[in-house]
Structure 1
Amino acid sequence: MSLKALFVCLPVLFAASVAVAQEPEVKPAPVQSPPASVPIDPENVLDLDLSTGGRVRIQLRPDLAPTHVERVKALARQGFYNGIIFHRVIDGFMAQTGDPTGTGQGGSQLPDLKAEFNAYPHLRGTVSMARASSPDSANSQFFIMLLPRFSLDRKYTAFGRVIGGMEYVDAIAKGEPPANPAKILQASIEADGKTPPAALPPAETGQPAAKITADDLNAPIKQ
């Protein structure tokens, strides 16, 4: 190459490098968080009448986890949860139930569910499915958060949140298992219009539970 040709090529190469350097950086699209709340539909409200003295209202979120919501609704309508204890309750963490054996090892006769992990945070009052080590091992057990545990986000399927009666959740006896465990006297879907058992007061319709910060603890699982 002649010296003249070299001087002609260098500006072209320099201009090309500048053009590349000025190309905008491609950034991944931000992850969209699910809405914090949706309109209340009685067909998607789970009522738990607890032995602690009142009714807990849980807004189910089929927009987050449709398969898990349908499972819980089906089991509630079958009467599956009636009489089941809260077998694992850790103060400042969560209250777990949904095992008819009361040991943490049981479930329903239905097949396990494929995970529907989502971005809904595990706040105080969030309701999420328990599982074993496999992501696709949730069945009938679920837990209600007593305090936030954000380390559970996207690792457990959140499918609802308490919108009334959180004080009855707070009153559940603590222990693994508790010495005198609280139990679900009746689980029902609000659209079905079932009244609380005679021993309980009328349903509470309080505001959603407050958000409180706390340190992470171990994740709840079946074992």
Structure 2
Amino acid sequence: MKKSALWLSLSLLASCAPMQSVQTQAQWVPLDPQNLLVIDTTKGRMIVEMRPDLAPNAVQRIKLLAREGVYNGLQFHRVIDLFVVQTGNPNNKDGGTSTYPNLEAEFSVRLPDKTPWRQVTQTSDGNAGFLGTMPILTVSAKETQRRNVPNFQAWGAYCPGVAGMGRGEDVNSANSEIFFMRGASSFRLGLQYTAWGNAVIGREIITTVAAGEPPANPDMMQRVQVAADLPEGQRPNVEMMDTQSPAFAQLIAKVRREKGADFSICDVQVPTRLK
């Protein structure tokens, strides 16, 4: 029997029987191995869905550095509980860069017309939903109409597990450093740091790597690879629950009932599994 790993928010695990029913009814879609980053760490394997539709230059840079082996052996050099886990600097501390030039900020993007994103909330201030597994925020429908543009301006929502590009004071100074949200949400980061991905397998690693600035005994990324580059027999096949499916709508409704007026997009994680 094949085993699968299903990663859900704690709120979705509160009731086992309804969840099992939803899982049985769920529709699953594969994630593109060209946009999966496989990070083998001293705490285990983590797989990140990259979103070139949100941050094309950042994703291109991360793939390049992974393929050149730049990330292999780098430490999680700055780990702050309930905030972020930072890595990706060749000097294993803040301020290190690769041999490539800095990247311009990719804080937000206009979604192409008819982009298949899943809207979850809609208010006069803005919308929230998912682009693949990635939680996103957008300007409101009213503001979009006022600007007379075909679709929403969107940016990544910095929920637990979301990945961003580190930078210095200059907004256009992202280079090789990456970070992951560790056990907390920070919407204020959304239009200040380029969000490029979301951890879909092994998310717990983010909260188990050694903390500190720097940690006394830092964990590290032992090897970082693009899933598509792995031999077929070693390539992880990751699926996500179809966010347009009735099963996902049931999950959203369940969390809404539990959270009530406090509900936010970060209360939900799109279920994923290894096949």
> TM-score w.r.t. structure 2 length?
0.57
- Asked if the contact 2:31–2:240 (Cα under 8 Å) also holds between the matched residues in 1, the reply is no
User: CA separation in 2, counterparts of 1:190 and 1:207?
Assistant: 16
Question: Offset at 1:40?
Answer: 1.5
Question: Offset at 1:100?
Answer: 1.3
The code of the aligned residue for 1:141 comes to E
Which is worse superposed, 72-81 or 38-47?
Answer: 38-47
Distance 1:39 1:157, change over 3 A: farther
Output one character per residue of 1:93-147: Cα deviation in whole Å (capped at 9) or x when no partner: 1100001111212110000001110211111110000000111000000100112
Distance 1:203 1:85, change over 3 A: farther
Aligned counterpart in structure 2 of residue 80 of structure 1, from 49, 55, 70: 70
Instruction: Give every structure 1 segment of 4 or more consecutive aligned residues whose post-TM-superposition deviation is greater than 4 Å.
Output: 202-208
Higher helix share: 2
Distance 1:165 1:204, change over 3 A: farther
- Asked if the contact 1:164–1:204 (Cα under 8 Å) also holds between the matched residues in 2, the reply is no
Question: Offset at 1:61?
Answer: 0.2
Distance 1:66 1:39, change over 3 A: farther
User: CA separation in 1, counterparts of 2:240 and 2:202?
Assistant: 8
Distance 1:88 1:212, change over 3 A: farther
User: RMSD of aligned C-alpha atoms?
Assistant: 2.6
> TM-score w.r.t. structure 1 length?
0.70
Distance 1:121 1:50, change over 3 A: same
Within 5 A, what are the aligned runs for 1:72-151?
Answer: 72-118=62-108, 119-146=155-182, 147-151=184-188
Higher Cα radius of gyration: 1
SS of residue in 2 equivalent to 1:151: helix
Which of 1 and 2 has higher RCO (CA within 8 Å, sep 6+)? Answer: 2
User: CA separation in 2, counterparts of 1:162 and 1:90?
Assistant: 18
The code of the aligned residue for 2:266 comes to K
Number of residue pairs matched?
A: 169
User: CA separation in 2, counterparts of 1:104 and 1:206?
Assistant: 34
Higher strand share: 2
- Asked if the contact 1:165–1:206 (Cα under 8 Å) also holds between the matched residues in 2, the reply is no
SS of residue in 1 equivalent to 2:205: helix
SS of residue in 2 equivalent to 1:72: helix
Percent identical: 42
User: CA separation in 1, counterparts of 2:188 and 2:160?
Assistant: 13
Q: Unaligned 5+ residue runs, structure 1?
A: 1-37, 196-201, 214-223
Aligned counterpart in structure 1 of residue 39 of structure 2, from 48, 61, 68: 48
Q: Unaligned 5+ residue runs, structure 2?
A: 1-28, 109-154, 242-264, 269-275
